[in-house]
Amino acid sequence: MEAEFWHQRWQSSRIGFHQPSVNGHLRQFWHTLGVNERTEVLVPLCGKSRDMHWLAEQGHAIAGFELSPLAVRSFFEEAEIVPEPRRLTHYQCWQHGGFSLYEGDFFAADTLGRRFDAAYDRAALIALPAPMRPLYAALLARLLNPGAMMLLVTVDYAPIQQQSPPFAVPEEEVHRLFGEQFSVRLLGRLEEGQGNPRVASGERTFFNELCFALRRR
Ligand SMILES: C[S@@+](CC[C@H](N)C(=O)[O-])C[C@H]1O[C@@H](n2cnc3c(N)ncnc32)[C@H](O)[C@@H]1O
Protein backbone atom coordinates (compact mmCIF):
# COMPACT_ATOMS: atom_id res chain seq x y z
CA MET A 1 0.00 0.00 0.00
CA GLU A 2 1.09 3.58 -0.44
CA ALA A 3 2.37 5.36 2.66
CA GLU A 4 -0.58 7.77 2.36
CA PHE A 5 -3.03 4.89 2.82
CA TRP A 6 -1.54 4.12 6.25
CA HIS A 7 -1.19 7.75 7.30
CA GLN A 8 -4.90 8.23 6.58
CA ARG A 9 -5.84 5.09 8.50
CA TRP A 10 -4.05 6.41 11.58
CA GLN A 11 -5.33 9.99 11.16
CA SER A 12 -8.93 8.78 10.96
CA SER A 13 -8.45 6.12 13.68
CA ARG A 14 -9.42 3.30 11.29
CA ILE A 15 -7.07 0.89 13.03
CA GLY A 16 -9.21 -2.23 13.36
CA PHE A 17 -5.98 -4.26 13.11
CA HIS A 18 -4.86 -3.03 16.55
CA GLN A 19 -5.52 -5.67 19.20
CA PRO A 20 -6.41 -4.56 22.73
CA SER A 21 -4.77 -7.70 24.13
CA VAL A 22 -1.61 -9.67 23.45
CA ASN A 23 -1.75 -12.03 20.48
CA GLY A 24 -2.59 -15.59 21.57
CA HIS A 25 -0.16 -17.23 19.16
CA LEU A 26 2.66 -15.02 20.49
CA ARG A 27 1.92 -16.08 24.08
CA GLN A 28 1.57 -19.73 23.11
CA PHE A 29 4.61 -20.17 20.88
CA TRP A 30 7.25 -17.47 21.52
CA HIS A 31 9.07 -19.51 24.15
CA THR A 32 9.23 -22.58 21.88
CA LEU A 33 11.59 -20.62 19.60
CA GLY A 34 14.31 -20.67 22.24
CA VAL A 35 15.28 -17.01 21.80
CA ASN A 36 17.62 -15.83 24.56
CA GLU A 37 15.85 -13.28 26.75
CA ARG A 38 18.53 -10.64 26.21
CA THR A 39 18.09 -10.77 22.41
CA GLU A 40 16.68 -7.66 20.74
CA VAL A 41 13.54 -8.43 18.73
CA LEU A 42 12.95 -6.81 15.35
CA VAL A 43 9.25 -5.89 14.93
CA PRO A 44 8.56 -4.68 11.37
CA LEU A 45 5.42 -2.56 10.72
CA CYS A 46 4.83 -2.53 14.45
CA GLY A 47 1.95 -0.05 14.83
CA LYS A 48 1.40 0.54 18.53
CA SER A 49 1.06 -3.16 19.23
CA ARG A 50 0.75 -4.28 22.83
CA ASP A 51 2.70 -7.38 21.79
CA MET A 52 5.86 -5.23 22.08
CA HIS A 53 5.17 -4.74 25.80
CA TRP A 54 4.71 -8.48 26.25
CA LEU A 55 8.03 -9.17 24.51
CA ALA A 56 9.71 -6.53 26.69
CA GLU A 57 8.24 -8.26 29.76
CA GLN A 58 10.00 -11.45 28.64
CA GLY A 59 13.31 -9.53 28.87
CA HIS A 60 13.75 -8.48 25.23
CA ALA A 61 14.75 -5.11 23.85
CA ILE A 62 12.54 -4.07 20.93
CA ALA A 63 13.43 -2.54 17.55
CA GLY A 64 10.08 -1.58 16.01
CA PHE A 65 9.65 0.02 12.58
CA GLU A 66 6.58 2.12 11.88
CA LEU A 67 5.63 4.60 9.17
CA SER A 68 3.09 6.59 11.16
CA PRO A 69 4.28 9.23 13.66
CA LEU A 70 0.81 9.04 15.24
CA ALA A 71 1.23 5.32 15.95
CA VAL A 72 4.66 5.85 17.50
CA ARG A 73 3.41 8.74 19.63
CA SER A 74 0.37 6.76 20.82
CA PHE A 75 2.54 3.77 21.72
CA PHE A 76 4.63 5.83 24.14
CA GLU A 77 1.76 8.02 25.39
CA GLU A 78 -0.39 5.00 26.25
CA ALA A 79 2.55 3.51 28.15
CA GLU A 80 3.04 6.88 29.87
CA ILE A 81 6.68 7.05 28.92
CA VAL A 82 8.58 9.88 27.27
CA PRO A 83 11.08 8.69 24.63
CA GLU A 84 14.21 10.51 23.47
CA PRO A 85 14.42 11.31 19.73
CA ARG A 86 17.52 10.55 17.70
CA ARG A 87 18.11 11.01 13.96
CA LEU A 88 19.45 7.80 12.36
CA THR A 89 19.88 7.62 8.57
CA HIS A 90 16.31 7.70 7.16
CA TYR A 91 14.64 7.44 10.56
CA GLN A 92 13.59 9.40 13.56
CA CYS A 93 14.35 6.86 16.27
CA TRP A 94 12.41 7.15 19.54
CA GLN A 95 14.04 5.43 22.49
CA HIS A 96 13.15 4.68 26.05
CA GLY A 97 14.49 1.82 28.14
CA GLY A 98 14.54 -1.24 25.90
CA PHE A 99 12.22 0.28 23.28
CA SER A 100 13.62 1.75 20.06
CA LEU A 101 10.89 2.71 17.59
CA TYR A 102 12.20 3.69 14.18
CA GLU A 103 9.72 6.08 12.59
CA GLY A 104 9.94 5.74 8.81
CA ASP A 105 9.79 3.23 5.96
CA PHE A 106 10.88 -0.28 7.00
CA PHE A 107 12.14 -0.83 3.45
CA ALA A 108 15.04 1.56 4.23
CA ALA A 109 16.20 -0.56 7.21
CA ASP A 110 19.31 -1.74 5.32
CA THR A 111 20.72 1.79 5.70
CA LEU A 112 21.11 1.29 9.48
CA GLY A 113 23.73 -1.42 8.92
CA ARG A 114 22.19 -3.52 11.70
CA ARG A 115 21.51 -7.26 11.97
CA PHE A 116 19.14 -9.04 14.35
CA ASP A 117 18.82 -12.50 15.93
CA ALA A 118 15.04 -12.52 16.42
CA ALA A 119 11.93 -11.06 14.80
CA TYR A 120 8.18 -10.98 15.31
CA ASP A 121 5.66 -10.29 12.55
CA ARG A 122 1.96 -10.03 13.31
CA ALA A 123 -0.06 -8.26 10.60
CA ALA A 124 3.05 -6.95 8.80
CA LEU A 125 3.42 -9.39 5.86
CA ILE A 126 -0.38 -9.48 5.48
CA ALA A 127 -0.46 -5.66 5.30
CA LEU A 128 1.61 -5.73 2.10
CA PRO A 129 0.21 -6.25 -1.41
CA ALA A 130 1.46 -9.32 -3.29
CA PRO A 131 4.23 -7.60 -5.33
CA MET A 132 5.84 -6.21 -2.14
CA ARG A 133 5.89 -9.49 -0.20
CA PRO A 134 8.99 -10.98 -1.94
CA LEU A 135 10.83 -7.67 -1.28
CA TYR A 136 9.83 -7.89 2.38
CA ALA A 137 11.01 -11.51 2.67
CA ALA A 138 14.33 -10.63 0.99
CA LEU A 139 14.84 -7.67 3.34
CA LEU A 140 14.23 -9.87 6.39
CA ALA A 141 16.73 -12.40 5.04
CA ARG A 142 19.32 -9.60 4.87
CA LEU A 143 18.48 -8.21 8.33
CA LEU A 144 18.54 -11.54 10.19
CA ASN A 145 21.73 -13.39 11.11
CA PRO A 146 22.09 -17.11 10.35
CA GLY A 147 20.29 -19.04 13.12
CA ALA A 148 17.94 -16.11 13.88
CA MET A 149 14.37 -17.08 14.79
CA MET A 150 11.19 -15.36 13.71
CA LEU A 151 7.57 -15.85 14.74
CA LEU A 152 5.25 -15.03 11.83
CA VAL A 153 1.48 -14.65 12.20
CA THR A 154 -0.59 -14.47 8.99
CA VAL A 155 -4.24 -14.88 8.07
CA ASP A 156 -5.85 -17.11 5.49
CA TYR A 157 -9.44 -16.73 4.33
CA ALA A 158 -11.75 -17.27 1.38
CA PRO A 159 -12.90 -15.92 -0.91
CA ILE A 160 -9.68 -13.93 -1.35
CA GLN A 161 -9.92 -10.18 -1.95
CA GLN A 162 -6.87 -8.23 -3.12
CA GLN A 163 -7.99 -4.61 -2.73
CA SER A 164 -7.03 -3.81 0.83
CA PRO A 165 -5.39 -5.42 3.85
CA PRO A 166 -5.44 -7.79 5.59
CA PHE A 167 -4.38 -9.87 2.60
CA ALA A 168 -4.69 -13.65 2.81
CA VAL A 169 -1.22 -15.27 2.98
CA PRO A 170 -1.72 -19.05 3.12
CA GLU A 171 0.83 -21.67 4.12
CA GLU A 172 1.98 -22.35 0.51
CA GLU A 173 2.80 -18.67 0.00
CA VAL A 174 4.81 -18.49 3.24
CA HIS A 175 6.90 -21.44 2.00
CA ARG A 176 7.29 -19.83 -1.42
CA LEU A 177 8.38 -16.46 0.03
CA PHE A 178 10.72 -17.65 2.78
CA GLY A 179 11.55 -21.30 1.96
CA GLU A 180 14.90 -20.65 0.25
CA GLN A 181 16.47 -18.56 3.02
CA PHE A 182 14.57 -19.90 6.05
CA SER A 183 13.37 -23.23 7.38
CA VAL A 184 9.62 -22.82 7.83
CA ARG A 185 7.39 -24.72 10.28
CA LEU A 186 3.66 -24.26 10.83
CA LEU A 187 3.11 -24.07 14.61
CA GLY A 188 -0.59 -23.34 14.90
CA ARG A 189 -3.83 -22.62 13.09
CA LEU A 190 -6.64 -20.77 14.84
CA GLU A 191 -9.98 -21.24 13.06
CA GLU A 192 -12.18 -18.28 13.90
CA GLY A 193 -15.30 -19.82 12.33
CA GLN A 194 -18.59 -18.13 13.23
CA GLY A 195 -16.64 -15.97 15.75
CA ASN A 196 -15.47 -13.91 12.79
CA PRO A 197 -18.19 -11.39 11.81
CA ARG A 198 -17.52 -11.81 8.09
CA VAL A 199 -17.84 -15.59 8.34
CA ALA A 200 -21.00 -15.22 10.43
CA SER A 201 -22.48 -12.89 7.79
CA GLY A 202 -21.64 -15.36 4.98
CA GLU A 203 -19.21 -12.91 3.28
CA ARG A 204 -16.32 -15.32 3.93
CA THR A 205 -16.41 -19.10 4.08
CA PHE A 206 -13.52 -19.35 6.57
CA PHE A 207 -11.02 -17.12 8.36
CA ASN A 208 -7.93 -18.63 10.03
CA GLU A 209 -4.92 -17.15 11.79
CA LEU A 210 -1.73 -19.10 11.06
CA CYS A 211 1.46 -19.06 13.09
CA PHE A 212 4.90 -20.10 11.76
CA ALA A 213 8.40 -20.51 13.17
CA LEU A 214 11.06 -19.35 10.69
CA ARG A 215 14.75 -20.05 11.19
CA ARG A 216 17.28 -18.14 9.08
CA ARG A 217 19.59 -20.66 7.37
C1 LIG B 1 -1.89 -3.94 9.76
S2 LIG B 1 -0.96 -2.83 10.72
C3 LIG B 1 -0.23 -3.93 11.92
C4 LIG B 1 0.44 -3.22 13.06
C5 LIG B 1 0.99 -4.15 14.15
N6 LIG B 1 1.92 -5.13 13.62
C7 LIG B 1 -0.11 -4.80 14.93
O8 LIG B 1 -0.12 -6.03 15.03
O9 LIG B 1 -0.98 -4.08 15.46
C10 LIG B 1 0.38 -2.42 9.63
C11 LIG B 1 1.22 -1.26 10.16
O12 LIG B 1 2.35 -1.09 9.33
C13 LIG B 1 2.60 0.28 9.11
N14 LIG B 1 3.33 0.34 7.82
C15 LIG B 1 2.82 0.10 6.59
N16 LIG B 1 3.80 0.17 5.66
C17 LIG B 1 4.95 0.43 6.33
C18 LIG B 1 6.31 0.60 5.94
N19 LIG B 1 6.67 0.52 4.64
N20 LIG B 1 7.24 0.85 6.89
C21 LIG B 1 6.88 0.94 8.20
N22 LIG B 1 5.61 0.78 8.64
C23 LIG B 1 4.65 0.53 7.72
C24 LIG B 1 1.22 0.92 9.11
O25 LIG B 1 1.24 2.30 9.44
C26 LIG B 1 0.50 0.08 10.18
O27 LIG B 1 0.64 0.67 11.45
CATH of domain 3-12+21-216: 3.40.50.150
Q: Per the confidence metrics, is the pTM higher than 0.80?
A: yes
77-92 pLDDT, tens digit each:
999 999 999 999 999 9
Q: Which atom of ligand 1 is nearest to the CA of 105?
A: 20
Q: Which atom of ligand 1 is nearest to the CA of 7?
A: 25
Q: Is the pLDDT of residue 6 over 90?
A: yes
Tell me how far the alpha carbon of residue 104 lies from the centroid of ligand 1, in angstroms: 10
ipTM over 0.95: yes
Q: For a pocket test of ligand 1, which of 13, 22, 66 has the largest count of ligand atoms closer than 8 A to its C-beta?
A: 66
Question: What radius of gyration, in Å, describes the C-alpha atoms of the chain?
Answer: 17
137-146 pLDDT, tens digit each:
999 999 999 9
How many Å apart are CA 174 and CA 140, to the nearest integer? 13
Q: Residue ranges of the domains in the chain? A: 3-12+21-216
14-69 pLDDT, tens digit each:
999 999 999 999 999 999 999 999 999 999 999 999 999 999 999 999 999 999 99
